[in-house]
Amino acid sequence: MFLVSGLTLYAGAAVAVGLFDRIAAPAVGWWRIVLAAVVLTAWRRPWRRRWTRRALAAAAAFGVVLAAMNIAFYIAIDHLPLGVAVAIEFCGPVAVGAVTGRGWRERAAIIVAATGVVLLAGVTLDSGLAHDDAVSGLLAIAAAAACWAGYIVLGKRVAGAGAGIDSLAVGMVAGAIAFAPVFAHTAPTVVARPGVLGLLLVVAVCSSVVPYVLDQVVLRRTGTATFAVLTALLPATAVAVGAVVLRQVPTLPEAAGLVLVTGAIMMTAGARR
């Protein structure tokens, strides 16, 4: 289930990259949340469930963090190769695995992952990208990493309450509303272009509905540390999609950084087995 989640997630990201010349990258991230909220709400009809204030607040917080993560990630992949961005974003899951784990491997994994991230960041700054673009991309992916850590922790809490997918629908609505003051002005442009709206719907289904529904299923069956370990599958998935769809073949130094980050996750996997 997690492998399917990763493949659809980054296939949707590859489609999103193709939209950046028609609509700004952060706006694509917001529309992904909006359309995913429409699909999930129509499917789940969460208003039929009896909600407590605490459950609604948790779902809303989860959704706002999720929306922020998506927007920051799309800003990043507008400036960085997909595989590099995903690898650096892994600081979030690695930190969750280290904090929730108890052994030396989890602690050592932080050092290994940090080495990989430093290597990737250094290669990015020297890669020929405009310096401002590289810095903007690195700052955006750092913010996405922090949000990803929050997504794992809050997602586990939401999934454990037994209303995971319904809470996901409510959270998507909350995230869409939270960022509407910033991005709602793009609505006339998007609605007037059915082709763009259709591609945004593809992005929403592939990158939000399918993977996040599967995440909720997986989170109900695993702990937060184990879920963080499973995400070791994602850098390789992102590199494969980036190479095949976007022709973003990693250089040898980038590949070394990717291996280090993946190795850090595998270290926590060995500790938690």
Model confidence pLDDT, tens digit, residues 169-202: 999 999 999 999 999 999 998 999 999 999 999 9
What pLDDT is recorded for position 24? 93
Q: What is the DSSP letter of 209?
A: I
Q: What number is the average pLDDT over the span 128-139? A: 81
Residues found in the chain: 273
Under 8 Å CB-to-CB from 100, ≥6 apart: which residues? 223, 224, 225, 228
Amino acid at 272: R
More confident residue, 162 or 52: 52
User: Contact, 63 vs 118, CB < 8 A?
Assistant: no
**CA 61 remoteness from chain centre:** 16
**Between residues 71 and 163, which one has the greater pLDDT?**
71
CA–CA separation, 116 vs 256, rounded Å? 7
Q: Is 103 left (phi over 0), alpha (psi -120 to 50) or beta?
A: beta
Coarse DSSP helix, strand, coil percentages of the chain, rounded to the nearest 5 percent? 85, 0, 15
List the Cα angle 80/143/39 in 5-degree steps: 85
Please give the pLDDT value at position 162. Answer: 61
Q: What is the dihedral of CA 48, 206, 261, 125, to 10 degrees?
A: -120
- Which of 239, 237, 243 is CA-nearest to residue 256? 239
In percent, the amount of the chain with pLDDT more than 90 equals 33
Query: Distance from CA of residue 111 to its chain's centroid?
Result: 22
Which pLDDT belongs to residue 186?
94
pTM for this model (two decimals): 0.83
The count of structural domains within the chain is: 1
Q: Convert the pLDDT of each residue in 55-71 to its tens digit.
A: 888 899 999 999 999 99
The C-alpha atoms of residue 90 and residue 232 are separated, in whole angstroms, by 9
pLDDT for 88 equals 86
pLDDT tens-digit profile of 210-263? 887 887 788 777 776 666 667 767 777 888 888 888 888 888 888 888 888 878
pLDDT at 193: 92
| pLDDT confidence tier of residue 127, bands split at 50, 70 and 90 | low
pLDDT, average across residues 158-164: 67
What is the average pLDDT score of the chain?
84
Residue 7: band (very low, low, confident or very high) from pLDDT cuts 50, 70, 90: confident
Closest CA to 91 of 148, 10, 156: 148
Q: What is the C-alpha separation between 1 and 263, in angstroms, rounded?
A: 22
Domain that holds residue 32: 2-272
Q: Is 154 exposed, middle or buried (0-12, 13-18, 19+ CB in 10 A)?
A: buried
**Angle between the 2-17 and 25-44 helix axes, to the nearest 10 degrees?**
130
Residue 123 has pLDDT above 70, yes or no: yes
The string of pLDDT tens digits covering residues 15-37 is 999 999 999 999 999 999 999 99
Higher pLDDT among residues 28 and 103, named by residue: 28
